[in-house]
Amino acid sequence: MLVSVISFIAAAASIVLCIMECRRRSLDSDTQDSGGSILPLKRSSMVWVVLMVALQVFLGVWSALGLVQDDIVSALIVNAVITGAAFLSCARPRLYARVRAIAGPDGLWHHPQVACALATVLAGIFATLALEIPSNHNLLWMYPLCLLLEVVLVASAVAGMFYLAQRRAGLAALLSFAFFAIGIAEYFVVLFKSQPIQPGDLTAIATAAAVGGGYTFTLSCYCLYGMMFLALSWLTLAYAVVLAPEPSQRTRKSRLINLVVGALCLAFIVCHVTVIDYYNFLRIQVYTWRPLESYYRQGFLPSFISSAQTIQPRKPEGYTKDDAEELVEEYAASFDEGAGASEERTQAVDQFEGENPSVIVVMNETFSDLSIYQNLHAGYEGPENFQSISDALQTGQLYVSAYGGGTCNTEFEVLTGNSMAYLGNGVYPYTIYNLTHAENLAKQFSDLGYATTAMHPNHATNWNRENVYADFGFDNFLSIEDFEGSDTLRGMVTDEATYDKILELLNSGDDPQFIFDVTMQNHSGYTTGLLPMSMRTNYLIDGTYDAEVNEYLALIEESDRALGEFLNELENLDRPVVVVFFGDHQPFFPSDYNDEWFTNEDAATHSERLYQTEYVIWANYDVAGRAQESDEVDLSSNYLGAALMELIGAPMTDYQKAQMALRADMPAINSVGFQDAGGTWHLTESASDDPTAAPEVYAAALKARQDLAMMQYLKLFDHGDSVYTRTLQGAANETDPNLAPGTTQIK
C-alpha cells in the first residue's frame, strides 16, 4: 500500500507543480523567444502532463489492488522522476527560452535541426530502456554491439514517426509506449513461462488471452523503472517538439524534408531486417536450449528478428525430392526386414485385424514427474498411480520440444510424427503452416474405418485447433460448449470430466474409435488458491512452503487419481481399448531447481531435463506378441505415434516405419538436441562436431538426424502448395483449394 500512497501523492504533486507553472506563465509575460514573441502555454504541454499523471494514477490504483511489488525505493525514484518530467514538460517553453539565452548565439539550441535530431535519438535510447529493463535487468550483460543495434532500430523507428508527423510527437510517443508495453508483456511471459516472446506467439494471442485468467499480473520494481524510462522518452519528445518551428512558419520545403527523413528512417529498418541475415551474417542466434539467455545477451528486438527470419522453413542441405523419397523407402524396407518381420509384430498384426481396438490418446496438460529434480528436496516421489502401472505395453520418459507452454507443439509432434527440431525457434506449426497434407494419426485411423473425435474442454480457437483438426480429418471436435455443466477445478474442466466423455463415446456404439483428448485441468498459473482444502499438499522445499509449487503438485495428484480410476473403468469394459497417456510439457518453474541443484553436468543433459515428461501405452486386453510388463523405453514425442502403431499391430505408413528404423541410431530428438545410440545427448547447435561422443555412434546419429530432416521436409512441405496456413494466406476456409479431399468440416 505504501507504493500506492507514494504514487497518489506524487500525482498530486505533479498537478500542483503544473498549476503553479500555469499561474507563473500567466504572470510572467516577459518570457519571450529570441524574436521578442511571447511563448504561451501550449495545450500540448498539458497533454504531456496528463500522460505523466496518468502513469502515476495507474501505478497507484494497481498498487492498491496489491499488484505492485512492495519496493519503496523504486516507487520513490520512479515517481520523483515522473513528477519532474511532468513539470519540465509543462515548463518547457519558459525553460527553452532561458536555455537559448544562456547558450548564446553559437549554442546547440540555436541549431534546432541538430538539437531536434539529438532529442529524438535520446528518446529512442529511453524507449529501448523501457523495452528491456522490465525483464532484462542487467544490461551490462548484453553484448555491446547487440545493444547498439537495438538502440539504432528503436531510435530510427521513433525518429521516423516523429518526422513523418512533421515533427509532432504523437505517433512517436505512441510508439515509445508500444515498446514499453512489449517490455511489460515480455516480463509477464518470462514470469509465467520462463521463456521469451517468440514470433510464433503473435499468431496465438487469442489463445494466450483465453487461458490467461489463472495468472496474477504483479508489476516488479523493474517494471516501474521501465515506466520511468517511458516518461523520460516522452519528455525528450516534448522538447523535440519545442525545437520544431510553428506550423505557420513551415515551408513546403521543410515539410518535404521531414517526410523524406521519416521515410528514410523507416526504410532503413525495413531494409535492415529483410536484407540482412541475422542468424548467419550477424550471428545473432536464439539457442533452442536457452532462448531466454539469448534474449538477455542479444536484446529483445535482435533476438526476435532473428527468430522471425527462421520461420520460413529451409530445405535441408543437399535436399532433393527424389533423394528424400528414396530415404523413406530404404528405411521402411529396413523396418520390414527387421522389427516388422518379427514374430511379435506378426502376431500383433494378426490380432489387430480381428480386434480393431479403440485407441484413446490423452495429452494431459502439464503432466510431469518433478521427482527427477532430487525429489524437490521435499521427499516428493511423483504420481503414484502412474508409477504403479505394471501391465503397460510400454512406458518411459518422453522428450518433448516445449517447456512451460507451447502445448500445441507436442500435440503436433505426436499426431504427425514430425519434429520441431527442424522448424526453428519460436514456431507454432498449428498457427503458421499449412498442414492439410500432413500425415497424421486421425487420418490414418479414419482410413481404417474408425470414427475419429478430438476433444479439448476450452475454446475451439485455441492454437487454431478448429481448423487444424478439420485439416487432419477428425470427424468431430468437442470443445468447451460440449462440456457445459461438467465438473471444474480452479475454473477448468477436470480430467475426470473428459474421461467420462470418452466413456460415453465408447458406449455409444460398437464401431472402433480414435479419440484424442487434450485436457485443461492443470493449466498454469498456480497461484489461484482455488483448490479445496482436501486436495492441497504441504511439501516443504528445503524447509520452505511454496504455494505455487504445491498447487501444481496437488493438481498432478488429482490427475493421477483420475487416470487410475479411468484405467480401472476401461479394465472392466467389454471391448478392446488402447490408451496412450502423456504430458505435453513441464511447468515453468523447475528451471530454477535445475540450475541450482544440477551444477556439474554437460549442457545437453542439463537442458534436456527440462524437456522431458512421461508417457505410457496401455491396453485393457492382452496384445498378442507383447509382454505387457511396462517395459521402459525412452523416446521423443515425434516417435510416439509410430511406436503405438508398431506395438498394437496397426498398419503403419512408410514414414512411420522409417522413423522406427531410424531410431536405432537416433533414439530421441527434440528442439533442444538429439540422442545417439549410446544414450548421449547432443545440443542441436553442436550437431556438426562433438568430441565427447563415440565417433562411430555420433556419426550414425548425425546421419540419422540429417536423413530425418530430408524425410520430414518431404512429408511436411514439399507438396506444391503454400507452406503457410490459410489464415496467413488470407484465404477463406470454404474456398481454400488446399482443403484435403474428404475432409469433414467440424465445429
- pLDDT for 742: 33
Count Cβ neighbours within 10 Å for each residue of 666-686 and write b for 16 or more, e otherwise: bbbbbbbbbbbbeebbbbbee
- pLDDT for 503: 97
User: Looking at this protein, which amino acid is placed at residue 291?
Assistant: P
What whole-number distance in Å separates Cα of residue 517 and Cα of residue 476?
Answer: 12
**Which run of H or E residues covers position 375?**
none
Domains of the chain: residue spans and CATH? 1-110 (no CATH), 112-310 (no CATH), 362-729 (3.40.720.10)
With H, G, I as helix, E, B as strand and everything else as coil, classify residue 175: helix
H runs (alpha helix) in 67-204: 72-90, 92-103, 112-132, 144-164, 170-193
- How many other C-beta atoms are found inside a 10 Å radius of the C-beta of residue 437? 15
Strands 513-518 and 540-541: unpaired
User: Which residue positions in the chain have pLDDT lower than 50?
Assistant: 29-41, 103-104, 730-747
Q: How far from chain centre, in Å, is Cα 123?
A: 30
Of 7, 5, 3, 180, the C-alpha closest to 79 is: 7
Query: Is the separation of the CB atoms in 193 and 588 below 8 Å?
Result: yes
Euclidean distance between the first and final Cα of the chain, in Å?
48
Read off the DSSP letter of residue 641. Answer: H
With H, G, I as helix, E, B as strand and everything else as coil, classify residue 158: helix
Q: Kindly compute the dihedral angle of the four CA atoms of residues 608, 612, 618, 623, in this order, to the nearest 10 degrees.
A: -10
